[in-house]
Amino acid sequence: MIELRTPAEIDEMRAAGTFVANTLTELVAASQVGVNLLALDSLAAKLIRRVGATSCYVDYHPSFGAMPFGKVLCTSVNDAALHGLPHDYALKNGDVLSLDFAASVNGWVADSAVTVIVGTPRPEDVTLIETTERALAAGIAAATVGARIGDISAAIGELSRAAGYSVNVDFGGHGVGRTMHGDPHIPNDGRPGRGLPLRAGLVFAIEPWLMEGTDRIFTDPDGWTLRSLDGSRAAHSEHTIAITDAGPVVLTAR
Domain ranges of the chain: 7-250
CA atoms of 97 and 31, how far apart (whole Å): 8
CA atoms of 151 and 190, how far apart (whole Å): 8
Q: What is the pTM of this model?
A: 0.97
Backbone angles phi, psi at 242, to 5 degrees: -120, 135
Look at residue 1 in the predicted model and tell me its pLDDT. 84
**146 neighbors 58 (Cβ within 8 angstroms):** no
CA atoms of 55 and 49, how far apart (whole Å): 9
Burial class (CB within 10 angstroms; exposed 0-12, middle 13-18, buried 19+) of 65: middle
As beta bridge partners, residue 218 has: 227
> Tens digit of pLDDT per residue, the chain (254 long)?
899 999 999 999 999 999 999 999 999 999 999 999 999 999 999 999 999 999 999 999 998 899 999 999 999 999 999 999 999 999 999 999 999 999 999 999 999 999 999 999 999 999 999 999 999 999 999 999 999 999 999 999 999 999 999 999 999 999 999 999 999 999 999 999 999 999 999 999 999 999 999 999 999 999 999 999 999 999 999 999 999 999 999 999 99
Angle, helix 149-162 to helix 123-141, in steps of 10 degrees: 160
Look at residue 74 in the predicted model and tell me its pLDDT. 98
CA atoms of 201 and 184, how far apart (whole Å): 13
Look at residue 95 in the predicted model and tell me its pLDDT. 98
CATH number for the segment(s) 7-250 = 3.90.230.10
Look at residue 27 in the predicted model and tell me its pLDDT. 98
